[in-house]
Structure 1
C-alpha cells in the first residue's frame, strides 16, 4: 500500500490541498516588477501555491520509478509537493529530499507538516535564498523539482547541472507560465543535454531527462 493512501500522509495532504483553495481569496498587494525574491516571499507568505493533487501523484510515480538517492526541490512553500516526494522516498526504502524556501513562515509550516506526516527524517528543509542554499549540495542529484519563482528556474538549474547524474529527471512545474520560457528554451534544446516533454497537468509540467553528466 502506498503511503499516499494511508494515514497520516493521506489526511494531511487532503487538509493542505483544501486549505490551498483559499489562495484565490487572499488580498495580496501588487508588487513592482523589480521586487526582490525576499519581498515576493514575504508578500506571499500566506499563499500555498501548491502542486495539484494530480501533479503530486505524478511526482510520486516518477520518484518511485527513478529511485533517486538525492532529490532537490526549489520552492517548498507549505510542503505539499515535498510530502509527495518524501512519501515516494519512504516507499522506495532509500533516498532523501533536499528542499529550500525563502519565507520563514513557510519554512516553519513545512517542517511542522513533514513532522506530523512522520517523514521529517527524510527531508532537509534549507531556509534562505536557493542560489545560496542549493550551492551547498555536493552529492549526485537524481531528480529536481523546480516550483519556486519562475524567473529563477534557469539560474537554479544551471547551479545544479554539474551535479546531475546521467538520466536525472528535471521537472519544471507551471510550464505554461510565460516567465518559464527561458527555462523551457534551455531544456528543449538538445544541445544543452536534455530530452524534454510537456505533460498536461494543471498549469503544465515539463519533464526533462539529463542525457549526460
Structure 2
C-alpha cells in the first residue's frame, strides 16, 4: 500500500535526520507510529470532520490524521518553516491526500487570528513555549464535544505543566494523559459525558 510505504519512508528518514541534525529547527520531531495509530482510532471514533494541527513538520502526523477522515473531512495544518511545508506538501501529494489537507505557512500565533469556524480536534505539536498564547484560540475554535490533543506530555512535562493545568482546572474540560508515544494530553470540551 502506497500510504504505508510513504509512512515507513518518513519514519526512517525522520529518525535518521533527527539523529544527525544539531539544529533543532531542522529536526522533524515526528510523532511515533503508535501515536499515529491512536490518532486514527480517535478520529474515526469521534467521527471528526474538521481537524486543526499546529506544527506540520514534514507532514507525518498530518497524514495519519487525514487518512482517518471521511472524504469530505479536512485537516488545516500550520507550519512556520517554508522548507518543511514544501516537503509536507510533496508527501501529501504522494499519498493522494492533498485534497483533504489545507496547509497554511506562517507563524501560528498570527494565522490563528484569521481562522473561523469550529474544529472537532485540535492537535498541538509545535513550539511549546507558545502554547499558553494559543489558549484563547483553542477556547474559541474547539467545538463543544471536541478534543484537544497535546503531544510530548510525558517527554516535556515540565514545559507543558502550566498549559495542561489550565485545562485540568477548567470545569468545562475533561482531561487525561494517555501513555502512548511521547505522551498525549487530551482535553475534551464539554461537561461529562463528552
- One of 42, 52, 60 as aligned partner of 2:32: 52
- One of 173, 186, 189 as aligned partner of 1:210: 189
Give structure 1 regions of 4+ aligned residues with deviation exceeding 4 angstroms.
none
Deviation at 1:78, TM superposition (A): 0.3
Residues in 1 aligned to 2:85 and 2:63: alpha-carbon distance in whole angstroms:
14
Deviation at 1:96, TM superposition (A): 0.4
Residues in 2 aligned to 1:66 and 1:102: alpha-carbon distance in whole angstroms:
29
- One of 137, 158, 165 as aligned partner of 1:159: 137
Query: CA RMSD for the aligned pairs?
Result: 1.3
Residues in 1 aligned to 2:135 and 2:121: alpha-carbon distance in whole angstroms:
11
Residues in 1 aligned to 2:22 and 2:151: alpha-carbon distance in whole angstroms:
24
Residues in 2 aligned to 1:24 and 1:183: alpha-carbon distance in whole angstroms:
29
Matched, 1:64 2:44: yes
Matched, 1:130 2:108: yes
Deviation at 1:58, TM superposition (A): 0.7
What is the DSSP-based 3-state SS (H/G/I as helix, E as strand, rest coil) of the residue aligned with 1:68?
Answer: coil
Contact 1:70–1:141 (CA under 8 A) maintained in structure 2: yes
Count of paired positions = 188
Residues in 2 aligned to 1:179 and 1:55: alpha-carbon distance in whole angstroms:
20
Contact 1:55–1:202 (CA under 8 A) maintained in structure 2: yes
Residues in 1 aligned to 2:36 and 2:44: alpha-carbon distance in whole angstroms:
12
What is the DSSP-based 3-state SS (H/G/I as helix, E as strand, rest coil) of the residue aligned with 1:72?
Answer: strand
| Unmatched runs of 5 consecutive residues or more in structure 2 | none
- One of 120, 125, 129 as aligned partner of 1:142: 120
Contact 1:134–1:160 (CA under 8 A) maintained in structure 2: no
Contact 2:123–2:149 (CA under 8 A) maintained in structure 1: yes
Contact 1:54–1:201 (CA under 8 A) maintained in structure 2: yes
Q: Tell me the equivalent position of 1:12.
A: 6
- One of 14, 20, 27 as aligned partner of 1:25: 20
Residues in 1 aligned to 2:81 and 2:183: alpha-carbon distance in whole angstroms:
25
For residues 151-193 of structure 1, what are the alpha-carbon distances to aligned partners after superposition, in whole Å with 9 as ceiling and x for unaligned?
22232232131122111000000012121111111111133x2
For normalisation by structure 1, the TM-score amounts to: 0.84
For residues 100-146 of structure 1, what are the alpha-carbon distances to aligned partners after superposition, in whole Å with 9 as ceiling and x for unaligned?
00111101000110011100010011000001112222111110000
